Amino acid sequence: MDNCSKGVINNVEAKLLLATIVKANIENTKDERLELVDISKGLIDILQNAGFTIEKILDNEPYHIAKTLGIDGYVCEIIYNETKKRAATSSNINSNF
């Protein structure tokens, strides 16, 4: 195997390792508070797998969420509004949500 082929293989291995680390990091940082929002479990899983937190949802417009997730804007309006509603009923989003 020539040096060019070894370099390509090493580059592919490095990208696979990075992808594995990123995926593990996202899985470890899932915001469990999302499970308290009145939306389907499937949507909660999609949000958690994409790295969304309560704060990220509230800091973004539904359009941004839709674009990031590749889902319908109307669904993201529901996600945003339900998250906002749940946050409003909680006196402190960080400790009581």
pLDDT tens figures, 45-89 = 999 999 999 999 999 999 999 999 999 999 999 999 999 999 988
Cα torsion 73, 76, 78, 80: sign: negative
**Band of pLDDT at residue 9, cut at 50, 70 and 90:** low
pLDDT in tens, 26-51: 555 789 999 999 999 999 999 999 99
Q: Which helix (H) or strand (E) holds 41?
A: helix 41-49
